[in-house]
Amino acid sequence: MPIHRRQFLMHAGAAGVAGASLNSLLWSRQARAAIGDTLTIAYHVAPPSWDPTVGPSSVNPGLQSIYKSVFDQYIEQNPDLSFGPGILTEWGWNEDRTKVSMTVRDGVKWHDGKALTAEDVVWNLKRVADPETGNVVQVVWASLDNLQVDGNRITADVKQYVPDLFKWMAFLTGYLLPPQYYEEVGAEGFEKKPIGSGPYMVDRYEPNAFLRLKRNPDYWGGEPAFENVIFKFVTDPSSRVAEIESGGSDLTLEVPFEEFDRLKAKDGLVGVATPVSDVALIFFNDTGPMEDLNVRKALVHAVNKKAIVDRLLRGYGVPLDTLEAPEYDAYDPDIKVPYDPELAKTLLAESGYSKDNPVRFKIQATRGYRPKDYEIVQAVVGMWRKVGVEAEIEVYEIAKHFELRAQDKLDPAAFYVWGNASGDPNNSTGFAMFGPSPHSVWDTEDLDGMLAPVMFGEKDDQKRMAGWNKALRYIAENAYVLPLLQYVQPVVHRAELGFTPYTANFVLPHKITVKG
């Protein structure tokens, strides 16, 4: 039968469309079938480095879930920020806190099959204590000296008392690397083929594209539910929404709250919103109008935090009156700084300010660095305006914030989000408010004198927390900082998955199960 050109073109076109449709079906089916033995996570940040103990990556909270999938920590952290055994099964101080002892778990293997020993733990502790390594909290690890091994037991002298030393062992940079392998391949070799002792082994890493993990059959903490885990690095929030919605990924996080509400209402998807260890605040710098107690107190009383949470964050946030979130060790629900715009007006009037003669200063804010950061500052400035404060917003990048903060050159007010997954007040209120710290903005002798003993001196935990309680109350009464709210992390996942949310912001694949 002769075929005419027009017929041929029509048939070819139809075949093309059919081929494309078939391809699409195959692609969708592949994506849906993946949940069997492979968990796919659309993740917001990719690890630039595979060494979780040094460099900027080591202090990036977003990367900790990936590091925790491959590497073990000395001590594990539970979903509620409490601590549990990790590679160390026991740890503690002696009576006068001049010595520490630790017991290393038996039977743990590195991903290359070699045994993890107490000597390996000591090698790791000594490595990060060495200033040449570039560990960013080297002073914490350098507080130990004369590390000795006796079987599975490690002892050490305390050179300088760091009250939250063991919390750091479950926190940033507190990871274990395999000494023999690391020395064999060197730092660059380790970046190319990292190994640890964690629940998953790195199968393939394509920087900025994906990370494929394979289950570690020898993992001491029990067999993870999924044989394979794929982290797809999808940095754009709208693309992450599309990933979960199209079935291309089984779980995603850090999506806009508007999208979160829409996605969780869809069949087959579940949304989990958990308050996490990220606290939004406005630093006050002890300069210009902020030196006036009435002004500072007016600024904190004029802000309706609940309205900010409800209207800007769709209810996904927890208003705070101190820098301590409810899950933190030093949280005190009795410390209250109520929203009282009339009181704010009265306080400003006492210092000669009013709506006709407002107090003026600049406030710095990032835009898009954290959810609704700029919008929150806009709302705060609007509330201040109503009581007689004219604050001019200056937008800058987060890098500039770090630079200015280290130089103590921030404007009288500056927005920031402070993360503290350790839960210890030293790492939130402490380093945020203690003058000599390069991270602090407020710098006055009265507060430093109150913070120094509880941060570095007091060895009795109860007395230390009592001291913290006093300091937190003092900070609130003197309005040295404006705590705003605790952020909530939105996670969306397939309904078939059992997901464990962590206050520390972790999304841990080895803790994710398949329901039924």
Q: Does 38 bind other proteins (CB under 8 A)?
A: yes
Residue of the chain from 68, 215, 232, 305 that contacts other proteins (CB under 8 A): 232
The b/e string for 151-188 (b: 16+ C-beta within 10 A; e otherwise) is ebebebebeeebbbbbbbbbbbbbbbbbbebbeebeee
- The phi, psi pair for 50, rounded to 5°, reads -100, 10
Q: Which part of the chain contacts other proteins (CB under 8 A), choosing from 242-250, 286-294, 303-311, 475-483?
A: 242-250
Is residue 173 a contact point for other proteins (CB under 8 A)? yes
The answer to whether 491 and 254 have CB atoms below 8 angstroms apart is no
- Chain-centroid distance of CA 502 in Å reads 10
Beta strands 251-253 and 38-43: pairing type?
A: parallel
Q: Determine the distance from the C-alpha atom of residue 472 to the mean position of all C-alpha atoms in its chain, rounded to a whole number.
A: 22
233 binds other proteins (CB under 8 A): yes
Please tell me whether residue 18 binds other proteins under the rule CB under 8 A: no
Using CB under 8 A, pick the residue from 11, 159, 204, 470 that binds other proteins.
204
In whole angstroms, how close is the CB of 174 to other proteins at the nearest point?
11
Closer by beta carbon to other proteins, 47 or else 388: 47
Nearer to other proteins, 112 or 206 (CB): 206
Q: Does 126 bind other proteins (CB under 8 A)?
A: no
Q: Does 438 bind other proteins (CB under 8 A)?
A: yes
Nearer Cβ to other proteins, position 101 or 437?
A: 437
| Cα(348)–Cα(354) distance, integer angstroms | 6
What the block records as the tokens of 10 is 């029509």
Binding flag, residue 183, other proteins (CB under 8 A): no
* Contact track, other proteins, 372-411, x by CB under 8 A: ------------------------xxxxx-xx-xx-----
- Looking from the CA of 61 toward its CB, the CA atoms found within 13 Å total 17
Q: How many CA atoms lie within 13 A of 225 on its CB side?
A: 17
Which of 35, 156, 242, 293 is the binder for other proteins (CB under 8 A)?
242
CB of 321 to other proteins, least distance (A): 22
Does residue 144 touch other proteins according to CB under 8 A? no
Please tell me whether residue 134 binds other proteins under the rule CB under 8 A: yes
What helix, strand, coil percent values describe the chain, rounded to 5?
Answer: 35, 25, 40
Other C-beta atoms within 10 Å of 50: how many? 22
φ and ψ at residue 130, rounded to 5 degrees: -80, 120
Q: Is 258 in the site for other proteins (CB under 8 A)?
A: no
Determine which residue in the list 39, 40, 273, 366 makes contact with other proteins, applying CB under 8 A: 40
Give me the residue label for tokens 């969780």: 264
**Which C-beta is closer to other proteins: that of 32 or that of 470?**
32
CA distances from 124 to 52, 53, 74, 88, 384 (A): 12, 9, 10, 13, 50
- Among 467, 266, 468, 303, residue whose Cα is nearest residue 387: 303
17 binds other proteins (CB under 8 A): no
Find the shortest distance in angstroms from Cβ 340 to other proteins. Answer: 33
**Local structure of residue 265 (DSSP, 8 states):** T
Task: Tell me, by CB under 8 A, how many residues bind other proteins.
Answer: 70
Report the residue number, 207 or 498, with the smaller CB distance to other proteins.
207
CB nearer to other proteins: give 294 or 426: 426
Q: Which stretch binds other proteins (CB under 8 A): 127-135, 194-202, 325-333, 377-385?
A: 127-135
What are the two backbone dihedrals, phi and then psi, of residue 297, each rounded to the nearest 5 degrees?
Answer: -65, -40
Q: Which stretch binds other proteins (CB under 8 A): 88-96, 270-278, 330-338, 437-445?
A: 437-445
Determine if 49 is a binding residue for other proteins (CB under 8 A).
yes
For other proteins, which residue of 23, 78, 98, 148 counts as binding (CB under 8 A)? 23
Which region, judged by CB under 8 A, interacts with other proteins, from 286-294, 295-303, 430-438, 508-516? 430-438
d(CA 265, CA 274): 17
Q: Is residue 278 near other proteins by the rule CB under 8 A?
A: no
Which helix (DSSP H) or strand (DSSP E) does residue 305 occupy?
helix 305-312
Q: In angstroms, rounded to a whole number, what is the distance separating the alpha carbons of residues 149 and 245? A: 52
Considering only 59, 185, 225, 452, the residue that binds other proteins (CB under 8 A) is 59
User: Which residue among 95, 96, 150, 188 contacts other proteins (CB under 8 A)?
Assistant: 188
Contact 359, 412 (CB under 8 A): no
- Beta carbon of residue 140, minimum distance to other proteins (angstroms, whole number): 6
CB of 41 to other proteins, least distance (A): 11
CB of 38 or CB of 89, closer to other proteins: 38
C-alpha atoms less than 13 angstroms from C-alpha of 267 in its C-beta half-sphere? 0
Burial class from Cβ neighbours inside 10 Å (0-12, 13-18, 19+) for residue 199 reads buried
Question: If binding is defined by CB under 8 A, does position 39 make contact with other proteins?
Answer: no
Burial grade of 242 (CB within 10 A; 0-12, 13-18, 19 or more)? middle
**What angle separates helix 118-129 from helix 179-192, to the nearest 10 degrees?**
60
Asked if 139 interacts with other proteins (CB under 8 A), we say yes
Contacts of 371 (CB under 8 A, 6+ apart): 256, 257, 313, 487
Binder of other proteins out of 7, 98, 239, 357 (CB under 8 A):
239
d(CA 176, CA 197): 8
What is the binding site for other proteins (CB under 8 A)? 20, 23-24, 27-28, 30-31, 34, 38, 40, 42, 46, 48-49, 51, 55-57, 59, 131, 134-140, 172-173, 187-188, 191, 204, 206-210, 212, 228, 230, 232-236, 238-239, 241-243, 245-248, 396-400, 402-403, 405-406, 427, 431, 436-439
